[in-house]
Amino acid sequence: MNGSSHHARRSYRPAHPPFTAFPIAAYVFAAAFDTASVIGGPRHSWAGQLWHAGTFVLIAGLVTCLMAMGTGFRDLVRFAARGRGDARPSTTSADVTPTVAAHVAVVAATFMIGSGDLAWRLSDQGGRAAAPVGAAALSLAAAAAAATGGFLGGKLVFSHGIGVRRRAEEAGPEAGPPGAGGGLAGVGGGRRRAGRA
């Protein structure tokens, strides 16, 4: 393996996936805290504490969401820039573009819903004894949108193969075309066939 091919493979390593779990978890926890706070009501002291805890969790979710969106945009551009004759999946392929567009739109909507939720919280933190129903509804909407965005992101990876490096690509040209040994199933099948021979 020469240095240029090694550098080319490294340049296409996705940066987005490690950051995606944190905002989803934060949005879900904020929604759970707010829901519990609404159920508890002002007669329970812990309801107000959950309302404040949800605010801190939501702030963390929005910050990590910005990181996830930034790295996601980086990967979107990198995986769109495929050279002529490159058979690897691209984010601009006709069958992939609708999923990419839906993923980007849902994640952007999630961030905007979360920002609106946080603005409400910061303007109404005073003597709240429990989460207001409207803010809890926004938290639930943000959590649902974040889960939907995560589902669409998973579809890009597991259904369309965006950012997935095949075994044939790692082995180099001598591995043959992807159908002959690319992917885990192809490599395993090749070994079994070789063993029977």
**Which tens digits make up the pLDDT trace of 110-128?**
999 999 999 988 887 666 7
pTM, 2 dp:
0.71
φ, ψ (nearest 5 deg) of residue 126:
-30, -105
The predicted pLDDT at position 125 comes to: 62
The predicted pLDDT at position 160 comes to: 79
Rounded (5°) CA angle 113-114-116: 65
How far from 138 is each of 30, 53, 60, 149, CA to CA, in Å?
10, 16, 16, 16
Would you say residue 47 has pLDDT above 70?
A: yes
Query: 127-165, pLDDT tens digit by residue?
Result: 677 888 888 999 999 999 999 999 999 888 888 777 776
The predicted pLDDT at position 87 comes to: 54
41-79 in b/e form (b: 16+ CB < 10 A) is eeeeeebbebbebbbebbbbbbebbebbbebbeebbebb
